[in-house]
Structure 1
Amino acid sequence: MLNHFLLRPALFVATLSSFLLTSCWKDVNPTTTLFNTNNPNGLATDREVNSWILTNMKYYYLWNDKIPANPDTSLTPDKFFLSLLYDRNNTANPNRDRFSWIQQSADELKASLSGQSKTTGMEYRLYYKDNTKTNVIGSVLYVLPGSPAAAAGFKRGDIFTTVNGQALTGTNYAELLANDALTFGMATIANGALIDSGITRQVTPVVFQEDPVLLDTTYSIGGKTIGYIVYNQFIPGVYQNGGSSDKTYDNKLDNIFGKFKQRGVNELVLDLRYNPGGYVSSSTTLASLIGKNINGSNVFYAQQWNSAVTADYNKKYNAGWNTQYFQLKSNNIGGNLSRVFILTTGSTASASELVINGLQPFMTVTTIGTTTVGKNVGSITISDQTGYIKWGMQPLTFRSTNAQGFGDYATGFTPSVEVKEPAYGMKALGDLAEPLLGEAIYQISGVRTTARRGVSPDDILPEAASSLDQKAGGSNMFLENSAKLLK
């Protein structure tokens, strides 16, 4: 079973063309491996799983010509999969495979790509309190409405220093945050110093469906009508029946832009600072609501697959199978825009970067924040149709380019205006005093709504990890300390 994505460490959901907008393909090309399905426990052996992995990787993997000639099939499937990845550990190569990943449960993988996972419902960053990199604090980035964290009273900007009665350190935070029952010890800032507040909050992770649209609103400032939307993952709809055929969230985007159009929005701030990517179909929907002077003949992005897949698909499908065009959207507001402002951080990746790159040939794209991840490659979800193999994998299978043929952004998009987020004292998203939004308002209207651009160097601490790295396969998901983090 194949599913196409464009997401951070492994998501860049790419649909080939309209007739492939389904959750699964039935015409899997690699020769089917015959398994011994009479195993006493009914589970595939590691060697069978590895054979399945290798068969699919030799056909679909973007760097299938770089797969080792004699990989060690005695490894466990997760380690075997990693052993196949192109130049994975060579940090000097920005075009290495940083993003392919595998999970023991294909069902959980598919659910996470559609915004459903076991979570407390809050995303946070962990910072070292000082340059000795010993003690760690957590700073809440946002909280999902209706989640356990929201019920416990968490909000953006909250700070925690202990979990289950233990102070967070650089060596224990991953283990502590992996517990199923979490009691957070909260802290506050008084006279510039961090002090324990004596308040604790208890929360238990549950399986929760995220609505990717966290906030939308409009502002009237300096003669401009400014639309603002916080969009945190490219998800078409509610996860169901092993896929995301539901279009609830895509329809919500359409309705929001219909509201923007009705209100005469003539400037747009798109907040993708925490968006690691997702379904390319949803990125096409979003870009098609924004692009200026676009129609169904304008290229949004094109894919470049390996030679084997390209040759086969050239025969199987009509010309243009690897090209995605913009959609005609009645709620497109591009006619009122000459530019778009996109807020970014080091958590902005994949489908988010696809929107940046795909819109640039058609309008001015001003990015505000910090440098994005640099995921100019896409992946597909591969799982076993028979259900005998329980694993699911998300290998990179193609590169992407925009209408001008540009796709060389493996080192990320450097912001047009650099603004860093503080570790302490974060303003609510949508607050005009929030540094990234405030800078966008200034760039649009000339009205300064923040005391200064960005944050003081005293408010910036060394980052240890982030729960966002675990969201649908974050870029650090294979690092030992990140892999165990729960949200």
Structure 2
Amino acid sequence: MRKITYASLLVAFICVFTACKDDDVISPITPAETTSDVTTTSSYSSINNWAYGVMQDAYYWSAELTAISNLDLSLDPFDFFEKLIYNRETIDRFSGLTDDYEALQNDFDGISEIFGIRYTTAYLDNSSTNLGLFLSQVTVGSAAEAAGMKRGDVIISIDNQSITASNFASLFSSSDTHTFSFGKLENDTWLTESSLTVTRMVTEENPVAYSGIIELPVSGKKLGYLLYTQFIPGSSDEYDNQLRSIFGEFKSNQVSELVLDFRFNGGGYISSAEVLSSLIGINTSSNDIFYKEKWNESYESYLRSRYGSSYFDHTFLDEANNIGNQLSRVFVLTSNSTASASELVINGLTPYMEVITIGENTYGKNLFGTLVGDDENNSNYGIYVMLGETTNALDQSGYGTVDGITPDYYVEDNLIPYLPIGDYNETLFSQVLEVLGEKTLASARLSNKKTIWRKNKFYAKEEQVQPMAKTIITLPKAGE
């Protein structure tokens, strides 16, 4: 075995419409002082040999690799790498090759310039010509938030140009500064209400987009609500400690119901998933298994012989602000963007309490991986390689497919403009209230407000919030 320091990641690549980016809060990585741009055909064989070695060594499905003698090492590295992937369409949808390691590492670490908006597109009228951007989330700490943008806003033009399917991508890519005009629907006509000029900026996002205690409309009981957009500890565990503080408030206020809103959460650090789950689990402690790991046969054998079988078992933490004894269940709101560490929390809590999922099928990633740079050739290539699979304490891990986790209550988040998070009539929260028998006082939204059904069934985003889960693991040299 080669010695490589791996940072295990639990992150899903869910690129929709535009480039994926991560909003994280890690200090920027300083690029290597000397790297060579290895792009010539004569260099391909060395890159491909390196890539094959990494995959043969660490890839979860290394046993399925085609023998290197049967592969063409002169291929473009991207074409070569695809020949190493095990069932790209259905199983390994995540491993990938990059020729800009530093850029991808910075993306994983959340170093990116963004406006800070997440939105759905839909036509503004029956002519199916002009599009609106219906804001579903504004990133905490972003330029958009600083300018005053909020969930529910509708952008009807960019730089005084109407938005269409043909100019949409070019409008965003043409500049780092744009003037966004916001519309208001009056008598079936969209009128410009206001405009804001916003410049992309490097953003360190606080993953706690919303937290609050909501009094239920019928029983008067208290419900804790957490909109959490990525699993990230922050500098000096700032955001993990914020979670602890929030749950301290939930605990002291005798919250008896809990909603975890993961609809925008594409994954994150496993350590933060452990913190959050440990604040929730009923009768859980450091003696109880949160999740287990499975590696390829070589590493399974090595790690078991060196550290014992317990190496693969990861337990809950002993958290002073755990509210499990106040709960009988937890509600989790999901979408197709709910992935990786979010799914790990759902799966990991299931053996210990009732987990009720509401929304759409999750993305379906029960794998952990790492980003490996090409030190052998001093090139800027890198591989995001899947190292293994996670299961819960009952050895359950059946969501690693394109179908993901099927929600208990399938509800499409398809009513726009979006209502504020925590509003009784907000699409997914309304279903929570219905399950709780608390919907009596929640008025029917369609009866008093013009509602537009989403016509484009995708989440078009300015950026994708998909952080990673990291556990630093040093793999052994041959003979160790």
TM-score, structure 1 normalization: 0.80
Coordinate RMSD, CA, aligned: 3.3
- Asked if the contact 1:161–1:184 (Cα under 8 Å) also holds between the matched residues in 2, the reply is no
User: How big is the shift at 1:229?
Assistant: 0.8
User: How big is the shift at 1:53?
Assistant: 2.2
Q: Does 1:438 align with 2:442?
A: no
- Asked if the contact 1:127–1:465 (Cα under 8 Å) also holds between the matched residues in 2, the reply is no
Q: Partner letter of residue 456 of structure 2? A: P
Q: Does 1:325 align with 2:315?
A: yes
1:234 to 223, 227, 231: 231
| Cα distance, 1:323–1:49 mapped onto 2, change above 3 Å | same
C-alpha distance in 2 between matches for 1:131 and 1:375: 38
Q: Does 1:395 align with 2:393?
A: no
- Residue 48 (structure 2) aligns with: 50
C-alpha distance in 2 between matches for 1:326 and 1:114: 25
Q: Does 1:86 align with 2:86?
A: yes
- Asked if the contact 1:10–1:395 (Cα under 8 Å) also holds between the matched residues in 2, the reply is no
- Asked if the contact 2:6–2:371 (Cα under 8 Å) also holds between the matched residues in 1, the reply is yes
| Cα distance, 1:439–1:171 mapped onto 2, change above 3 Å | same
User: How big is the shift at 1:49?
Assistant: 3.5
- Residue 480 (structure 1) aligns with: none
2:222 to 211, 221, 225: 225
User: How big is the shift at 1:234?
Assistant: 0.6
| Deviation digits for residues 234-272 of structure 1 (CA, Å, limit 9, x no counterpart) | 11114xxxxxxx411111111111121111111111111
| Deviation digits for residues 153-202 of structure 1 (CA, Å, limit 9, x no counterpart) | 32112222444454434344334323342425435342574625174433
C-alpha distance in 1 between matches for 2:127 and 2:365: 31
1:378 to 368, 382, 394: 368
Q: Does 1:117 align with 2:112?
A: yes
Q: Partner letter of residue 285 of structure 2? A: N
User: How big is the shift at 1:147?
Assistant: 1.6
Q: Partner letter of residue 174 of structure 1? A: A
What SS does the corresponding residue of 2:112 show, helix, strand or coil?
A: strand
For these two proteins, the number of residue pairs brought into alignment is 437
- Asked if the contact 1:217–1:228 (Cα under 8 Å) also holds between the matched residues in 2, the reply is yes
User: How big is the shift at 1:441?
Assistant: 3.1
C-alpha distance in 1 between matches for 2:220 and 2:194: 44
1:7 to 5, 11, 17: 11
User: Mapping of 1:336-485 within 5 angstroms?
Assistant: 336-384=326-374, 388-409=378-399, 410=401, 411-422=403-414, 424-444=416-436, 446-448=438-440, 450-452=442-444, 459-467=453-461, 470-472=464-466
User: How big is the shift at 1:326?
Assistant: 1.1
- Asked if the contact 2:337–2:363 (Cα under 8 Å) also holds between the matched residues in 1, the reply is yes
What SS does the corresponding residue of 2:203 show, helix, strand or coil?
A: strand
Stretch moving more, 360-369 or 204-213 = 204-213
What SS does the corresponding residue of 1:290 show, helix, strand or coil?
A: coil
Q: Does 1:156 align with 2:151?
A: yes
| Cα distance, 1:285–1:471 mapped onto 2, change above 3 Å | same
Q: Partner letter of residue 228 of structure 2? A: Y
Q: Partner letter of residue 206 of structure 1? A: M
User: How big is the shift at 1:214?
Assistant: 1.0
What SS does the corresponding residue of 1:116 show, helix, strand or coil?
A: coil
User: Mapping of 1:112-261 within 5 angstroms?
Assistant: 112-127=107-122, 136-191=131-186, 193=188, 195=190, 197=192, 199-221=194-216, 222-238=219-235, 246-261=236-251
Q: Partner letter of residue 320 of structure 2? A: S
C-alpha distance in 1 between matches for 2:320 and 2:381: 41
Identity of aligned residues (%): 34
C-alpha distance in 2 between matches for 1:375 and 1:394: 14
Stretch moving more, 304-313 or 414-423 = 414-423
2:255 to 243, 260, 265: 265
- Asked if the contact 2:413–2:427 (Cα under 8 Å) also holds between the matched residues in 1, the reply is yes
What SS does the corresponding residue of 1:433 show, helix, strand or coil?
A: coil
- Asked if the contact 1:371–1:412 (Cα under 8 Å) also holds between the matched residues in 2, the reply is yes
Q: Does 1:286 align with 2:290?
A: no
Unmatched segments (≥5 aa) in structure 1:
12-22, 24-36, 239-245, 475-487
C-alpha distance in 2 between matches for 1:463 and 1:143: 20
C-alpha distance in 2 between matches for 1:149 and 1:78: 36
User: How big is the shift at 1:321?
Assistant: 1.7
- Residue 26 (structure 1) aligns with: none
What SS does the corresponding residue of 1:146 show, helix, strand or coil?
A: coil
TM-score, structure 2 normalization: 0.81
C-alpha distance in 1 between matches for 2:187 and 2:396: 46
User: How big is the shift at 1:85?
Assistant: 2.0
C-alpha distance in 1 between matches for 2:177 and 2:433: 38
- Asked if the contact 2:115–2:198 (Cα under 8 Å) also holds between the matched residues in 1, the reply is yes
C-alpha distance in 2 between matches for 1:314 and 1:42: 39
- Asked if the contact 2:106–2:112 (Cα under 8 Å) also holds between the matched residues in 1, the reply is yes
User: How big is the shift at 1:350?
Assistant: 0.9
C-alpha distance in 1 between matches for 2:299 and 2:125: 50
- Asked if the contact 2:47–2:377 (Cα under 8 Å) also holds between the matched residues in 1, the reply is no
C-alpha distance in 2 between matches for 1:64 and 1:132: 52
| Deviation digits for residues 399-427 of structure 1 (CA, Å, limit 9, x no counterpart) | 22111111111222222222222352211
User: How big is the shift at 1:84?
Assistant: 2.6
Q: Partner letter of residue 412 of structure 2? A: K
| Cα distance, 1:435–1:108 mapped onto 2, change above 3 Å | same
| Cα distance, 1:193–1:84 mapped onto 2, change above 3 Å | farther
| Deviation digits for residues 73-111 of structure 1 (CA, Å, limit 9, x no counterpart) | 4444444434432222x4xx3xx2212234444344334
| Cα distance, 1:154–1:216 mapped onto 2, change above 3 Å | same
Q: Partner letter of residue 228 of structure 1? A: Y
- Asked if the contact 1:301–1:358 (Cα under 8 Å) also holds between the matched residues in 2, the reply is yes
Q: Which has the higher contact order (CA 8 A, sep 6+)?
A: 2
